[in-house]
Structure formats: C-alpha cells, structure tokens
Structure 1
Amino acid sequence: MVLRRRGPVLGLVLLLAGCFTSGEKASVVQQPKTPAVRTISSFSEALRCMDQLMWSHGKRDIYITSNGLPDATGRVAGGTKEMLITAVSRMSEASGAFRFVDFEPALDDVNALYWMIGVQPNFRAPSYYIRGAITQLDDNVVSEAAGAGISVPNLDLGFSADQVISLVTVDLNIGELVTRQIIPGMSASNTLAVVSSGKGADAGAVIGKAGLSFNVSLNKSEGLHQAVRTLVELSTIEVLGKLTRTPYWQCLGIDQTNPAYLAEARSWFDTMEPTQRVSFVQRVLSSEGYFDGTVNGQLDERTRNAVSRWQADHDLIATGRIDFDTYQRMMAKDSGQKASPGRVQSVSNAGGEGLPRPAPTPAGAGPDLVLSSDRGPTPRYRAGEALVVRVQPTSDGFVYCYYKDANGTVARIYPNRFQPDAFVEANRQVEIPPGVQKPFNLRMDRPGADEAVACVVSRDEIGVRIPDQYKREDLQPIPGAALSDVVNAFGSAKGGEGTRTRQLNVKVLPGTVAGGG
C-alpha cells in the first residue's frame, strides 16, 4: 500500500528533474543597447521657466482642453495630444496654473458638457480649448548640392555632397469653449527647418522667431516626431503665455526690448481695464514689500505713494502714475520673485486680473477665499445668458457676496433667502444661485457691458455691523451704493480689520442676444 503510493510520486519527481536538467541552457544573444531615458527636448528648460513664471505672476487653476493636433499633411503620425498634455503639465507642476480636462470639445460633447455640470458636482468645465494641426511638411528639399568627377583610362573617380532640408509647421489657436469663438491674437505658427547633411549622422534644426534663430539639437534617427514635439512645446508656451498675459518671451531667452514683444506688451497694456492695471501693479508692489494694503484695483493715495517709491528705486520718473514704462519694467522683473511657496499670491485670469490664490492660512490670520464662476476665472457671456458664481473660503468664515449689474446697481446675492446662512466651512464651495433648477438668475442683459461680483469673508459675522443703509433685503437694489462702498463698509466696521475681499469681473460679449437670430 505504501509502496504503491510512493512509486508514482517518485516517478513524477524523476520526470520533473529530467525536464529541468536535460535541456541546454539558452544564452542571451543580445540585450537592448539603448536604455529608456526621459524625453528632454530643446524647450524643457523653457517649460520649467514658464512654470516659475506662472507661479510668480499668480496664475492658477485655468481649465483648458484640446482634442489634439491632427496631421493635416497625412505624413506624420504622432501622439500630438499627449505631447500637448505633457507640455501643459510641465509648465504647471509647481504653479498649478493650468488644469487639463480630458474632454473632447466637439459640438456633441459641448452639449454633454452641460449635462455633466448638472450631474457631476466635482466636474469643472474648461473655459478654453486649444486647437491646431501639423499644417505643413516639405520633406527632402535639396537646398545645396555639389559634385565633381574625373575619368581617365581604367579609372573613374567621383565626389558629391548635398544638404537636405525638411520643413515642419505647427499652428495653434485658443478658443472659448462655450462660444466656440477663436480668440484673436492668441495664436502661434512656428516652422522648424531640419537641415541634414549627406556626410554626417546628425541633423541641425533651426526655428526662426521674431528675427531670431533657435538652434535645435536633433538626431537623424529621431525622424520628424521629435521635431513635432519641439514645435508643440514652443507653440504651447507662446499661446498660453498670450492667454495669461505673462512675458513668456523671457523663457525663450528673448530680450524684453525685442520690437515684436515690446509691441505685444504694449497691446496688453492698452487693452487692460484701468482696474486691471492697478490690481497688477498692487500685486507686484505687495510682493516686493512696497505695498501692504488690499489688492482692490483702486489707485488711491496709498497705492500712488507705493508706485512712486518703486519708480524711484528702479530709475523711473517718480510720478505715481501707472504708465507703460512702469508696467513693462514690472513684467521684466518676474513679479513675485521675492515671495516663496506657501505665501498668499494673487491669481489672475486670462485677461490679466482676477482671483486670489489661496495658500495655507497662517495661525491667527483671517480666512481668504477663491472666487470663480461656472466658466472659470475669466467669465464671458452673451446677453441673455446667466452667471453662476462659485465661492470657496480657505478656512471657516462668514461670506457675503454682492453683484453689480451693467447699470451699476448693487444687490446682495449671498446670503439669500434660498441660502440664508452666511457661515461657510473651510474649502466648501458654494454656488450662487444654488442647485440645478436655479431659484433665481443673474442674467446678462447688455451686450458689451462690464459687470462684477465682490465677495467678503471674515472670521466674525461682520455683516451685522455694517451701516443700516447697506442692510437691504437680498436680491434687492441698494440705493445709491457702489460696489466699493459696500466692500469698504465691511472693512470699516468694528472687527473688520481681518476681512478679505475678492472681485470677479464679468465681460458681456458684444453682439446678438443668446438664442437670438
């Protein structure tokens, strides 16, 4: 009985031993010679520079998307969307400037987007989308050729050399997702010329930009795909720099006085609202220790004095006025460079101004807040469309929000009869008006007008201490009051020293009413 059990087991063991010992051991003929390495392009340093630039200029949480960059030539098959996402990610690692929403912005998807906003409370709709393509590929164009030969009886000798150029072009544009309108002036078109020599293993690549040349290191064996990545990164730096109105040319090693970029900076300055200019200057002055007041966009005496001191220290005429020379010099200094991570920095929207950037609140300091909208930090609407305000305090506090319409009429929109509690817990986002079925609407009514929302947050319930003239029913006009009057009333009230105010500027686009012909 015992032997019958051991016999089969022993045979099995011997059989397995034969399997393991009888065959020849296979030797490794060849191992991979090229180890995997991280992709480092000619603009990797520029992307890191952009990350720092975005942080120092207070750019944060700008939601964008793209459906990729198709190859219009049909000859370069590459993952251009992933190249674009990687570029955006690298310039947002520390700053958090951009949030890429993986959402295909086709027409049907825009309809689905509104559905997702209603059913997914954590879904953030992108404000902008990047579109573009590989628009040009001229391959193997012989630019130079030379040859010589000699023939004698019984001997033929010959020599030839040539240079071959391949041209690749990438075009990028930025559009507003909701309106599907391409924003004028926020485009990039860059061409890379790959020069290959018939007698060498390497290829040189050159990009022409604003009268300058960028020399790009490129190996022949990499083909055109690395060239496309290089163009995608350069074009992304350019269009997102234009979107955020940051001096992106600094990260490309281009001098501040280059005529092309000097003209671009001048255009930004001329098209900024006066309050945007003042807010920008106040943030720079605050980061460099010249100004310790509230960034409110008001050119008051305190701000003028700070501007004068800054101008005198930087070899400018101390006028106290915000002119282009002051604006340009402040941009050139990488505003915020003296600040360190963790301090409160201001966040600008794509137009150059806007939201606060909250940081961890120091012990004993009052709460701060983030003020945004259902269309991001730089909302634009057509007449007839409704605004949804989003406010989020950094720590527990009492929040009060006021809305100024196109006529300058001011009304309290939070707290309101549908949201009666002014107290909001830390990091809880409140939507005004609330819910999917809105109990009231903040509807835009005048094309081309500028409207605004200002929110105040404090540790104590300051709203009960402001003057009675500002204590009106919710959603009702406050007679004779400007938005700044109401905001200043909170700061002037007893215990109002620790209040924080943030303002969201709303642009109503010119043109026909939404839904009209």
Structure 2
Amino acid sequence: MNTATTLPRGPGRNGAPRRGAAWLMLAGALLLSACTTPLDPRKDASLQQAAYTTDRPVVRPTRSVSSFSDSLMCMDHMLRAAQVPTTLITSKQVIDYSSRVPVAAKDMIITSLSQMSRLSNAFRYVDYEVDIVRQDTVQNLTTILLNNNLMQLQRPALYVSGAIAFVDQNVATNRFDAGTSASRLDTGYSRNRSATVIGLEMHLGDFRTRTLIPGLDSANEVVIGSGSQGLDVAGRIGSYGVNFNVGRDYALGAGGAMRTLIDLATIELVGKWARVPYWQCLTLEQTHPDFQRQMRDWFDESGGVGQATLVQNSLIAQGYLQAGTDLLALDSPALRTALTQFQIDSLLVPTGVLDFSTYERAMRHFVTLAPDGSLQRVGWGPSGPTGSMAENKGDSTPVRTSGLVLTSTTPPPRRIDMQIENALPPGMEPTFEVGEQVFVSATVSRTSHMYCYFADPSGNVMRLTPNQVTPHSLVAANQALRLPDWLVPNPAFIMDASRPGTERVACFAAETDVLPRLPAPLQGAGLVNIPGYRTIEDIDKAFQQGVGTSGYVKSEVYWKTQPKKAQPSVAAPAAPQPAKR
C-alpha cells in the first residue's frame, strides 16, 4: 500500500494546493537559519573603503550672500568717502521669542558690520559676553586676565539691540485637490501653497548711558513661502493593484531670509547714525528679489563655451586679462589664474573654476532694471555662438559672443586712493604734534604690486611695505592697505610724527613685481633708511628709470608736524609753616 503526503488544499480554484505558501515558509526557515551565523566584517571591506569618498560633499562651497551683499560693499565705500572714524561697537543677543527661527543672528550682525568695514575701517566689534551656562576657553581666559589686571577691555561706543518680533506662520494658504474614480483606475491631483511672515526689529544704543538713540531704529518684514504638488494614480489589473505617487516640494529657508533682514537693518542703522545717503546703496539692481534666480536662468541658458566667452569678456573689461586675448578654454591656466584673482578680489572662494557665483559676480554689471521693475540684460542680443571673440582694441568695438553683444572697453585705469585715517577737523590741513601717531591707508583700484615709502623733514627715506613682517607686495583690488596695520596686536612698525616740518608717505603700484628692476639700494630690506635717497622725488625718478613713466602709478599724502606744546607748569604747593603758639 502506497501512501503519499499531500499539502492541505485551500479554497483556491478546483481545490489546487497552495504550493506558493509552502515555498514561502521554506524560504523563511532558511533565512532564519542564516541569521544565526555571525557576519564577517572583512567581507565588507570594499564597501567600507568607499566611505571616505562617500562622506565628502558633491558640490563646491560658496560664499553666503544676500540681496544686500553689494549694498554692504557700497556702504563701505560711502563710509570711507565720509571719513567716518573707527568706532567700537558691540551687540546683544537677538532673541527669537517665537522659537521658530533658530539662526545665529548676532554673528550675522558681526558679519554685516565687518563687510562694511573692510575698506573704511568704520567699526571694530568688541567681543565680550558672559554666558554662565556655556563657559568656553576664551571667556574663562578673559575672566582670569581681567581679574589679574593683565588685560584691558575697551569700552564700546555703540551697541546693537533687537529681536525677532514675530513669526506668523501660514498667513496665506492656497489648497487645490481633485480626483477621479473608475472601475479600474483612480487618479488624484493636489497643490498646496503657503506663506509665512518674519518680522525683525533692531535699534542702536549709546553704550555709555545704555540708552537707545531716538530715530536709530529699523523694523522690516520678509515673506518666506513653501509649496507642494502631487499626483496619485491607482489601477487594477485583475486581482492585482498598482499605485504611483509623484510629488514636488519646495520650502524657502528662514536662514537666508534672516540674513537679508539683518543686512538691511544694519545698513539702515549705520546710515542713519553716520548721516550718509544710505538709500543710494539700497536701490541697486542686486537688491531685486529675483536677481539671483534670473541670473541662474541666464547661467543655465549660456552653458559651456558661452559661459567662458561671456566671463572672459568681462574679465578683460575689468583688467584681469589682457585686451585682445583669444577665446580661452575653461581649463586654460591663464583663465584659471584670472578667475582665481577675480574671485579673491570679489570675496569669493578662490577655486579658479567658473561656477555660478563667479559668473554672477562677473556679469552683474550687464544687468539693469527695466521701467516696469523687471530685470533685463544690457546689450544682450539674439546672435548665435561664434566660437571666437573679436580683438579688443580699446575703441569700444562691439564684441559678439553666444547670445550676448557687449561693448568692449579699455580696462579701468589703475589708481591709488590714499587717506589719513586720524580723526581730523574737516577742511583743515592735517597737523600733528611730535610723538603723535599717524595712520594712513592706501587702496588700489586693480590688483597690483604696491610699494610705500616714508620721508621725514631731515632727508631720510625708508620703505614701509613690503617689509620683514609683510614680505609680499601684491595687494588685492579695493582692499585697504593699512600703514601701520592697526588691526593687529603687533604691527611691523608704528608711524609717529617725528620732527617739525612736512612728512610724506607715497605709494607706487605696478602690474608686476618691479622691485628687481629698481636700483640696488631700493631692493634692500624695508623699514631702514635708504642710502642716497632723500626725498620722494628721488624714489619717483628711480621708478621712472627702472619701470618707465607708464609702467606704474603714484599717490601720496602729507602732514605738518609741529613741536609738542609745553604743558602748563603747576606751582609747587608752599611748604607748611609751623603753627605759632
């Protein structure tokens, strides 16, 4: 008698056995038995080795900018032109009472003040704040040094106070949902949009009296939005079902919105305090809300050779490439060098690669506001790519590139702007007493090699920069060279008014390092008297002989030095007389 074991029959068609369930149970048993065996980590070595590269970001870092980054640079030049003296300033913590905007607002204020002081040296931030909860190394050392009279803390003149006044979430909301249903197909579509309002209020106060100055306030709001769009599809084929869900979402971050608000508030407060026309810096095209997005669209449209052509033409106009240069490839060493120097001068990450940040900085001069308030390209036409660029003869010849018609111009002239940074009465000749410190700054319009000299009334001339502490002569465009560098604790030299008479400081700037082409006495060490040279005119003649009259530019400042005024003598008190009896 033969016996056979059969699987239990289920309620399927014709009583067919459920063989699929049996195989599933068998596979599960094998999986459980495999889990009891310990894994060998050596078998995962190839995967773990890839972690070193997988952990790296896939995009290059970029500078954090806002709609008012150019306005901060504009304010820097405006404060320098107004000769605003250096002012010590600090700030309170910007409190977020809503707890919905977790950003470092105080550090954003410090960055804004720093960007307005790169050239003008208008502000120096006093960083001292006691936080009992979070004790760090700097705070502990500061407390120890102050208690032992080993550290001098300067009192600021101004302080910034403010708070995130409110965060109104989902002030405006728009929702749309629709769907269809059939016997074998269901569809659905949804779209949601919402807007949130953030308000920031900031004030400027007098630190000496801890009073907020009337009228020096700023109250602004910004809207951040979010949106989503989704499509659902569900279908049935026999007894099986299939579902699809496709969606797109975006959310504007609160961090970028807060940086925009803080930059705007800082410009308003500083402009009102310094009494300068700050509104001129707020009407730039770059403050348009769609500026970055529109530039991104144009960047994506140009692409490839078009980007290199457009940016190269801009670099020629700004003096980073020689006029008449043929179209260079993106990986050309000459173009990478020019891009790197342009990125350094533009406060970008110096990579030498043509990314969007570099494109936006180089091409922003060819964007303006149309009468209807929209952004438009200046001189951009429908011409197609040509693959080459016409020579730039400096005669305003139109140059056609891919999608762009620019007017090539001669690179901007090299100029040196020198100023005496001491607080002096306006309209009066600069005059100092013997022994009084003098502070001078020099700024060159194009990246150049710069050499500065000091001449006293006795006929002694010495080179101030480059020197043993600062041996490099290359100075970036529109960056202040401080003489001496009063922002470092140990400058290379201190410039005092030495002898009665006229003292002068002159700076010479050239395209390349011209020191080897100068006479031997001028090639010596800095900060020592140069033998055989007694005036600035002697230095000027040496530059003419070694470089040529057209190979450099020169600028100078002078001041009068007078003897120190005698202090009024104070009569010694009379000796006490013995009392008479």
Above 0.5 in TM-score? no
Larger radius of gyration: 2
TM-score scaled by length of structure 1? 0.42
TM-score scaled by length of structure 2? 0.38
Higher RCO by CA contacts (8 Å cutoff, separation 6 or greater): 1
